[in-house]
Amino acid sequence: MQPQERILELKKERNAVILAHNYQLPEVQDIADFVGDSLGLAVQASQSEADVIVFCGVDFMAESAKILNPEKIVLHPETKSCCPMAAMCEPSSLRMLKNDFPRASVVAYVNTTAECKAESDICCTSSNAIKVVNSLESDLIIFLPDENLANYVQRFTNKSIIPWPGYCPTHEAITLEKIENLKDKHPLALVIVHPECRPEVIDIADAVRSTEGMLNFIRESDAEEFIIGTEKDMLYRLSKEFPDKTFYDVPGAVCPTMKLITLDNVLAALESLSPKVTLSPELMDKARTPLDRMMAIGRGD
Ligand code: 13P
Ligand code: SF4
């Protein structure tokens, strides 16, 4: 029996739902019940009626699903699938920065550990970061952990943002030179980039969107060709949704840890009901408040 067939059987037996991020391997996207961006996946997780959530994405996404569903079993098929940017913010260093700026509100991009979320006032994703920051009363904001996203949000607010010096290695690999080369080769293509990209890349983009926001932009655009400034397997999702449009990826834009989730480990997770995401109830309670506040604000792109 093919792993796909056995996964479908087990999914029914366990009353499980499979959620996959837009950067997952094509074959993993194909067996998922829902494929989306971090916000979409968090919303799906919070509304799910399944007993088991199999989360195909990196650690912080699976943790958020567990925090939003403390009673459910949340499986993360490969625990080594971690976001290096989320690991760049240590809760102890964050507490020191908060002490230095006691008036500041703390906005945590969801790409953070549960411990950092627990230290924050509100979370955001790339789809609603501007809306979240502008919703706050404070005019001083500590924004973690992505410096590029913080600087992008700064373009759309009068508040002063103190960025955390973190970055995404995958989006750092998307350079101005690479985008200019692609534009030379495909002069009719529009450039859509993720806000985790470098500022000089954002400057020459036609649109800056979260991964799901990219789909919405393309749906409404008359253009037929697009240069996609984000992780390469986003193009699988785009090509499936828009078979008549043409997409160009940026060489080297790969998130290696997203690729650690495979059909084999999804199957093994469903068979054994492990590895389970486990967090202490106290930590989950503290981290849930900023996540709930973000969900109440909704999508911004
Ligand atoms: P999205 O919320 O746009 O899916 O981004 C998540 C992420 O990790 C981007 O690198
Ligand atoms: Fe983290 Fe970057 Fe991978 Fe997104 S693409 S999960 S931010 S390392």
Decide: 196 in ligand 1 pocket, CB within 6 A: yes
Structure tokens at 126: 């790339």
Q: Please check the confidence at residue 236 and state whether its pLDDT lies above 90.
A: yes
Residue 298 has pLDDT above 90, yes or no: yes
Q: Angle of helix 263-272 relative to helix 3-14, nearest 10 degrees?
A: 30
Work out whether the CA dihedral 98, 102, 104, 106 comes out positive or negative: positive
Q: Whose CA is nearest to atom 8 of ligand 1?
A: 111
231 and 263 share one domain: no
- State whether 138 and 207 are in the same domain: no
Per-residue pLDDT of 74-112, as tens digits, reads: 999 999 999 999 999 999 999 999 999 999 999 999 999
Give the largest CA-CA distance in the chain. Answer: 59
C-beta separation of 221 from 6 below 8 A: no
Residue nearest to atom 7 of ligand 2 (CA): 168
- In order of 35, 42, 58, the CA distances from 257 in angstroms are 17, 19, 7
Residue 237 has pLDDT above 90, yes or no: yes
Q: Are residues 78 and 98 in the same domain?
A: no
Q: Are residues 293 and 157 in the same domain?
A: yes
The Å distance, Cα 1 to ligand 2 centre, comes to 33
Residues 7, 73 share a domain: yes
Does ligand 2 lie within 6 Å of residue 258's CB atom? Answer: yes
> Do 153 and 221 sit in the same domain of this protein?
no
Does 88 sit in the ligand 2 pocket, CB within 6 Å? no
Domain CATH number, residue 11 = 3.40.50.10800
pLDDT at 83: 98
Closest CA to 270 of 25, 5, 31, 16: 16
| Ligand 2 pocket test, candidate residues 170, 254, 259, most atoms within 8 A of CB | 170
Reported confidence tier of residue 1, pLDDT bands at 50, 70, 90:
confident
Residue 61, phi then psi, degrees to nearest 5: -70, -45
pLDDT band at 301; cut points 50, 70, 90 = confident
Tally of domains in the chain = 3
Distance (Å) from CA 21 to ligand 2 centroid:
11
Count the Cβ atoms, other than its own, within 10 Å of residue 45. 24
What whole-number percentage of the chain has pLDDT above 70? 100
Q: How far is the CA of 20 from the centre of ligand 1 (A)?
A: 12
Q: Which domain holds residue 49?
A: 3-82+258-279
**Residue 231 beta carbon below 6 angstroms from any ligand 2 atom:** yes
In terms of Cα–Cα distance, which of 160, 164, 152 is closest to 127? 152
Do residues 222 and 273 share a domain? no
In terms of phi and psi (left: phi > 0; alpha: psi -120 to 50; beta: otherwise), the region of 37 is: beta
pLDDT tens per residue across span 217-228: 999 999 999 999
**Which atom of ligand 2 has the smallest separation from the CA of 168?**
2
pTM of the model: 0.96
Report pLDDT digits (tens) over 3-59.
999 999 999 999 999 999 999 999 999 999 999 999 999 999 999 999 999 999 999
Chain segment 31-46, per-residue pLDDT in tens: 999 999 999 999 999 9
